[in-house]
């Protein structure tokens, strides 16, 4: 009997040791931030988990990969600085730039109780689809680029780094009509949420100023031959053309326009600010313009140092989306410094920030929307440079 008792005790001890050895590093269902409960874990070992959802595969994967490069770059800086007395850890999820997939991914992310915040998505359609999921879970969804005017109003956990389409197209119309002095415009745009809303807003604002839309052409994502639509625009003899789509598509539109001897200036959204746009478009995109929050010639020392360091590290050009993502990573670090792993407090901070010292300028975020200006940029000699009248 005694031997049986000893054997039973040994077996119980071995089972206990095996269970400990197979446990994950953290099984807490609460965020792994600083705790006031007297935990013996040192704050320097604290891991703050965040997520990113965006197009990591598919036709828009270049945007997801660009955002990943920015978040990786910023988080590496933040962790190396020691400002958090711990470290940020980011996990990337692929929404394929598809609204249905975005809902699936969002539901997966919110199941992790340790995720403090989710960056992304890239597109407004995915952001609008995912918004109810994150709102219900009370987790901030912080997109660097969603510009749909209803996104931040979906619930109190939505934040964007972009201006709304209403504000963006207001800047565009002011620039084209007042700065450039061009009073007739043709438009060619991808028939998606942003393409429809941007062309509608331009038509509304531009005509209110006294301008005329001579032609409005919408294409599908499968379109590769734009010459019929461009020919229709050419017949209306506009002074300027608005072209919206991916940077690849807009570059192809510019090439085909020049082949048709369309020589009027063209402008787009600033998602064209990538090296590939310049490479694909070549001479055809000389003089192409956009408005951006990332003026490459802004005379701010720390901003210029960032541009150089980031480009050297990644080979990528900084556009306003990259700038937004970088600033948002540091906003999160500031929020964690102040509130630890309190998801509700983090969401509230990200949605309403006063006088945030961004890498390029100081600005505020009001009800999830940044309050800052756009700057005109033009392609000259194969580079994006500040536009000067």
pLDDT reported for residue 329: 98
The side-by-side arrangement of strands in the sheet containing 158-160 is 87-94, 47-54, 115-119, 140-143, 158-160
Burial status of residue 386 (CB atoms within 10 A of its CB: 0-12, 13-18, 19 or more): middle
If one compares 279 and 293, the residue with the highest pLDDT of the two is: 279
Torsion 56-58-61-64 (CA) sign: negative
Check residue 342 and give its pLDDT: 97
Co-location of 173 and 254 in the same domain: yes
Cα 106–chain centre separation: 16
Q: Does residue 30 register a pLDDT over 50?
A: no
pLDDT bracket for residue 38 (50, 70, 90): very low
178 and 151, same domain (yes or no): no
The whole-number average pLDDT for the span 336-347 is: 97
What is the helix, strand, coil percentage profile of the chain, to 5? 45, 20, 35
Distance set, CA 50 to CA 90, 117, 154 (Å): 5, 5, 21
Please count the other Cβ atoms lying within 10 Å of the Cβ belonging to residue 343: 21
For 183, residues 6+ apart whose C-beta sits below 8 A from its C-beta are 177, 210, 211, 212, 239
For 223-238, the pLDDT digits (tens) are 999 999 999 999 999 9
The mean pLDDT of 18-44, rounded to a whole number, is 34
Phi-psi region of 380 (alpha: psi -120 to 50; beta: other; left: phi over 0): beta
Residue 333 has pLDDT above 90, yes or no: yes
The verdict on 238 and 381 lying in the same domain is: yes
Give the single-character DSSP code of 43.
G
pLDDT for 176 = 97
pLDDT at 296: 84
**253 and 379 assigned to the same domain:** yes
Pair 149, 359: CB distance under 8 Å: no
- Asked if residue 272 is part of any domain, the answer here is yes
Full-model pTM: 0.81
- Is 262 inside a domain boundary? yes
The per-residue pLDDT for 64 is 93
- Domain encompassing residue 188: 166-297+375-386
Q: What is the mean pLDDT of residues 336-359?
A: 97
Domain co-membership, 109 together with 218: no
The CA–CA distances, whole Å, from 150 to 124, 160, 368 equal: 9, 11, 11
């Amino acid at each position: 009997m005694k031997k049986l008792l000893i054997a039973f005790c040994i077996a119980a001890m071995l089972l206990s040791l095996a269970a400990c050895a197979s446990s994950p590093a953290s099984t807490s269902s609460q965020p792994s931030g600083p705790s006031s409960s007297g935990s013996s874990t040192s704050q320097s070992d604290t891991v703050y988990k965040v997520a990113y959802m965006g197009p990591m595969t598919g036709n828009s994967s270049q945007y997801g990969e660009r955002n990943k490069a920015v978040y990786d770059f910023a988080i590496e800086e933040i962790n190396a600085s020691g400002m958090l007395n711990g470290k940020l850890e980011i996990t990337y999820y692929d929404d394929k730039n598809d609204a249905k997939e975005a809902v699936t991914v969002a539901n997966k992310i919110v199941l992790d109780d340790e995720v403090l915040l989710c960056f992304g998505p890239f597109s407004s359609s995915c952001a609008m689809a995912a918004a109810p999921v994150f709102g219900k879970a009370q987790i901030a969804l912080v997109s660097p680029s969603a510009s749909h005017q209803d996104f931040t109003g979906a619930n109190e956990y939505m934040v964007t780094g972009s201006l709304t389409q209403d504000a963006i197209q207001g800047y565009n119309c002011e620039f084209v009509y007042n700065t450039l002095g061009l009073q007739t415009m043709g438009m060619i745009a991808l028939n998606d949420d942003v393409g429809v809303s941007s062309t509608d807003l331009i038509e509304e604002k531009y005509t209110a100023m006294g301008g005329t839309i001579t032609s409005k052409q919408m294409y599908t994502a499968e379109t590769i031959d734009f010459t019929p639509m461009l020919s229709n625009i050419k017949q209306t003899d506009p002074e300027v053309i608005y072209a919206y789509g991916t940077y690849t598509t807009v570059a192809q539109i510019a090439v085909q326009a020049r082949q048709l001897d369309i020589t009027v200036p063209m402008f787009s959204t600033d998602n064209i600010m990538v090296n590939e746009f310049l490479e694909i478009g070549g001479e055809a995109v000389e003089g192409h313009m956009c408005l951006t929050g990332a003026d490459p010639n802004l005379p701010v020392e720390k901003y210029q140092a960032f541009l150089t360091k980031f480009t050297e590290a990644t080979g990528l050009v900084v556009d306003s989306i990259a700038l937004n993502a970088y600033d948002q990573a540091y906003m999160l670090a500031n929020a964690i410094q102040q509130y630890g792993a309190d998801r509700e407090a983090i969401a509230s901070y990200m949605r309403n920030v006063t006088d945030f010292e961004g890498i390029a300028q100081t600005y505020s975020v009001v009800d999830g929307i940044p309050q800052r200006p756009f700057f005109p940029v033009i392609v000259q000699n194969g580079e994006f440079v500040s536009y000067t009248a």
